[in-house]
Structure 1
């Protein structure tokens, strides 16, 4: 099924590169709902979220002659959304939006755009999976990895043993590694 979808997307990209508006409309219809939903989780203003999706597709159409370089259109579109969300927050001086500080640092590095977008896509996948962790496990993992607390500090804060903290962190890492293999993510780069 995945191979069929990838081939269908590749065919659409080839037609779009030739200026086929019907193929572009089909691609738009396929991805519009999911992209809007994705953006709406980060930006609550529906009009702004819709504008971001429109701008993304306008940008894609404007660079249609070079889109054959895109290996995975879903990964590209979702990563581009993430980049546009960051731009929106930067323009509106909302710098404290949680979860994006690391990505802003990465965006400033001299990396090719495709690499930055793919990296953001990978971070998106990890964020989604972290939110799926059991509540206590997720809480401990975030305190460890996002707040940089030691196991001892976490155990004192939550009134649990250090070994329980360590077990939860290990459980989270095992689960994220298992999921990351499904998405071909090189998890070792992040943790």
Structure 2
């Protein structure tokens, strides 16, 4: 009976090519611990490292008949683990970047939506207050602020004096300032 623990990696690899389960078990027992430590030192995640090592040995068994070692068995296994660690880290970084970007998109969308809702509500409140102005004052104010007509154009259109137009606009702003607060009134002034 062969003592597999005394065989070299090269001999174990040759037996593995012949589907020798005891050779596979010896390779597993010989390298499982050091490969685990190697991967864990990089990932610090017990579950991921366990899965990675199990997957590595499962693939080793699946490819046993076609396995051609260009170097020795230990180099092959270390390289395989290193590549899996790199793939895992790369995948996690991509995943993290995607999640971060998606969260930022959601946050911007929420902020934009919130901003639009507030803007719409503010516009509605301002419009309601403008509609509650006395008729002639409202008409003058809308021509001034919404249609951007000059005082002269409004005076001509409504057959009023420019002084009367100016008075209507100033009175409308005073009323709106009281009702809406000076900040909103300032916004109305800036819109013109």
Common topology (TM > 0.5): no
**Bin of the TM-score, shorter chain as denominator length:** 0.3 to 0.5
What TM-score comes out, normalization by structure 2 length?
Answer: 0.44
Structure number with bigger Rg:
2
